[in-house]
């Protein structure tokens, strides 16, 4: 390109495996979205209904709702109220959406196996929209969900699925990887809110949340015989794409335990979290950062956090091994956690 006769060269700044290319002028070129190319679920899951709802026209934000079939032998005249799982997907803040095949498949299975109404949230992606855009969008989605709870049963504007099926007294925040990072922040933020109405957030399910820091941990630098699904180089590059320009990995968006004096401060808000389940893969390079976070929560309230570690699993196992024993065990545990929530 040229400016008043002088040429300005545009160079490639970051390249994430060809799927995201960031150039020096701020432009972004996206290639094909990563996919695990997994086989479809069995026919029994075809009974799960889903639909998309726009909740923010200004930013083009939407959510995909999943409604499981009624339990076997239930009366056709009886409507079962379902717990609500507010789900934020992973992807390093840089890719995926609720319509991505792997995310869609995951939500169908969880909706059916747990018997929950799932709200899978779309948020703006980096580097076009760096953090805190994804946080702001997820807060907007949670506020929209709350608005639905206030109109439920009152003949106003609640979506029919919420109106007929949702139990807003049992809302759970769940996210995997970057979505787990978002769910952590939503849990901190929502703990200080006076929701009013019927909505109650009963718990958090954090699936190997995407945390980091400048200081390397043992799990990040450990020699491995096999290449991990999510490498340290991948993690560093995605943080460079997602964090505010000029920030390092000790920014509180990446490192939740870094000193921070802003409105969202884990040091003062951790005690407001609802019961929390932390799911960790023993082979995940982020394992130690996740355990640091757990130890911090234990110091705030020893009853608040429960750790579920799968020693042989890597980052992302709930997506790539969705029907294998560890994922099935997790679903069984999460189902019990949700049903037993006060």
Distance CA 226, CA 177 (A): 21
Name the strand (E) or helix (H) holding 119: strand 117-121
Judgement on whether residues 18 and 49 belong to the same structural domain of the protein: no
Number of domains the chain is built from: 2
Classified as helix, coil or strand, 233 is helix
Mean pLDDT of the chain: 90
Judgement on whether residues 27 and 58 belong to the same structural domain of the protein: no
Is residue 315 annotated as part of the catalytic site, yes or no?
Answer: yes
Distance CA 107, CA 94 (A): 20
Q: Which residues pair with residue 64 across a beta bridge?
A: 52, 120
Judgement on whether residues 272 and 334 belong to the same structural domain of the protein: yes
Distance CA 94, CA 23 (A): 15
Mean local confidence (pLDDT), 297-313: 88
Q: What is the pLDDT of residues 105-126, one digit of tens each?
A: 999 999 999 999 999 999 999 9
Query: Residue 242 sits in a domain of what CATH number?
Result: 3.40.50.1820
Residue pair 264/185 in contact by the 8 Å Cβ criterion = yes
Active-site residue, from 100, 149, 177, 235: 177
Residue pair 229/92 in contact by the 8 Å Cβ criterion = no
Confidence of residue 192 (pLDDT cuts 50, 70, 90): low
Both ends of the chain: CA-CA distance in Å?
61
Domain ranges, residue 18: 1-32
Distance CA 241, CA 23 (A): 11
Judgement on whether residues 248 and 153 belong to the same structural domain of the protein: yes
Q: Which two tokens stand for residue 16?
A: 């994430």
Judgement on whether residues 172 and 286 belong to the same structural domain of the protein: yes
Judgement on whether residues 254 and 183 belong to the same structural domain of the protein: yes
Confidence of residue 78 (pLDDT cuts 50, 70, 90): low
Active-site residue, from 89, 146, 165, 315: 315
Distance CA 106, CA 84 (A): 16
Q: What is the pLDDT of residue 228?
A: 82
pLDDT > 80? residue 269: no
Judgement on whether residues 20 and 132 belong to the same structural domain of the protein: no
Judgement on whether residues 24 and 103 belong to the same structural domain of the protein: no
Judgement on whether residues 54 and 122 belong to the same structural domain of the protein: yes
Across 36-45, 79-88, 109-118, 269-278, the highest mean pLDDT is recorded for: 109-118
Q: What is the pLDDT of residue 155?
A: 47
Judgement on whether residues 79 and 220 belong to the same structural domain of the protein: yes
Residue 176, CA distances (Å) to 84, 96, 120, 279 in order: 17, 12, 12, 9
Judgement on whether residues 213 and 306 belong to the same structural domain of the protein: yes
Distance CA 111, CA 215 (A): 38
Confidence of residue 80 (pLDDT cuts 50, 70, 90): confident
Active-site residue, from 122, 137, 149, 284: 284
pLDDT > 90? residue 264: no
Judgement on whether residues 51 and 165 belong to the same structural domain of the protein: yes
């Amino acid at each position: 390109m040229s400016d008043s006769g002088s040429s300005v060269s545009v160079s490639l700044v970051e390249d994430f495996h060809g799927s995201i290319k960031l150039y020096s002028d701020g432009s972004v070129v996206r290639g094909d979205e990563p996919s695990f190319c997994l086989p479809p679920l069995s026919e029994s899951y075809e009974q799960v209904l889903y639909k998309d709802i726009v909740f923010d026209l200004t930013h083009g934000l939407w959510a995909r709702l999943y409604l499981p079939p009624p339990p076997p032998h239930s009366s056709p005249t009886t409507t079962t109220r379902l717990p609500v799982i507010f789900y934020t997907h992973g992807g390093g803040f840089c890719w995926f959406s609720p319509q991505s095949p792997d995310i869609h498949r995951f939500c169908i299975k969880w909706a059916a196996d747990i018997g929950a109404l799932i709200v899978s949230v779309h948020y703006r992606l980096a580097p076009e929209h760096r953090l805190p855009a994804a946080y702001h969008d997820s807060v907007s989605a949670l506020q929209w969900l709350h608005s639905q709870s206030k109109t439920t049963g009152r003949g106003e504007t609640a979506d029919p699925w919420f109106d007929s099926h949702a139990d807003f007294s049992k809302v759970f925040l769940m996210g995997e990887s970057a979505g787990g990072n978002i769910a952590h922040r939503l849990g901190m933020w929502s703990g200080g809110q006076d929701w009013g109405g019927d909505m109650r957030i009963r718990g958090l399910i954090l699936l190997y949340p995407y945390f980091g820091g400048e200081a390397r941990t043992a799990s990040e630098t450990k020699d491995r015989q096999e290449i991990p699904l999510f490498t340290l180089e991948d993690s560093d590059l995605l943080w460079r794409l997602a964090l505010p320009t000029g920030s390092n990995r000790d920014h509180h968006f990446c490192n939740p335990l870094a000193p921070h004096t802003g409105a969202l401060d884990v040091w003062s808000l951790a005690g407001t979290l609802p019961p929390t389940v932390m799911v960790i893969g023993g082979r995940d390079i982020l394992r130690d950062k996740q355990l640091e976070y757990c130890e911090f929560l234990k110091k705030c309230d020893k009853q608040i956090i429960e750790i579920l570690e799968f020693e042989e699993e890597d980052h992302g196992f709930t997506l790539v091994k969705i029907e294998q024993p560890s994922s099935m065990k997790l679903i069984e545990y999460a189902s019990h956690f949700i049903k037993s929530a006060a």
